[in-house]
Amino acid sequence: MPTIRLKVSGWLCEEFDAVPVDPGGLPVSIYEGETILEMVCQLPLQHKGLGNILLGKQNLEFGANILVTVNGVFVNPHDRAEARLCDGDEVALLPVVAGG
């Protein structure tokens, strides 16, 4: 089964149980050709707590307050349901920071 490396930062690290100790990220199994949104929907099955904070109440919204990169390239929020992942990809979830 293909595997990606999931990196999280900021407050996301504090919000779920499986904080990756390895700086290379948390290994996440995916299906071949799975999209970013599909991967996020599957996260609660592999890592409790993680998917629950990333998805909206309807399980279709993927946090507008979270930026996503795949292999260092920003993925537009409108493209997350169509952007396909491949074995070995590195996905980073970066919380948007605001303040004054």
Under the banding of pLDDT at 50, 70 and 90, the label for residue 31 is: very high
Fold assignment, 3-95:
Ubiquitin-like (UB roll) (3.10.20)
The encoded tokens of residue 96 equal 């948007």
State residue 42's pLDDT score.
83
Domain boundaries, the chain: 3-95
CB distance 3 to 30 below 8 Å: yes
pLDDT tens, residue by residue, 59-79:
556 667 789 999 999 999 889
- Separation in Å, CA 75 to CA 31, 39, 50, 67: 19, 14, 20, 8
Q: Label residue 28 exposed, middle or buried (CB < 10 Å: 0-12, 13-18, 19+).
A: buried
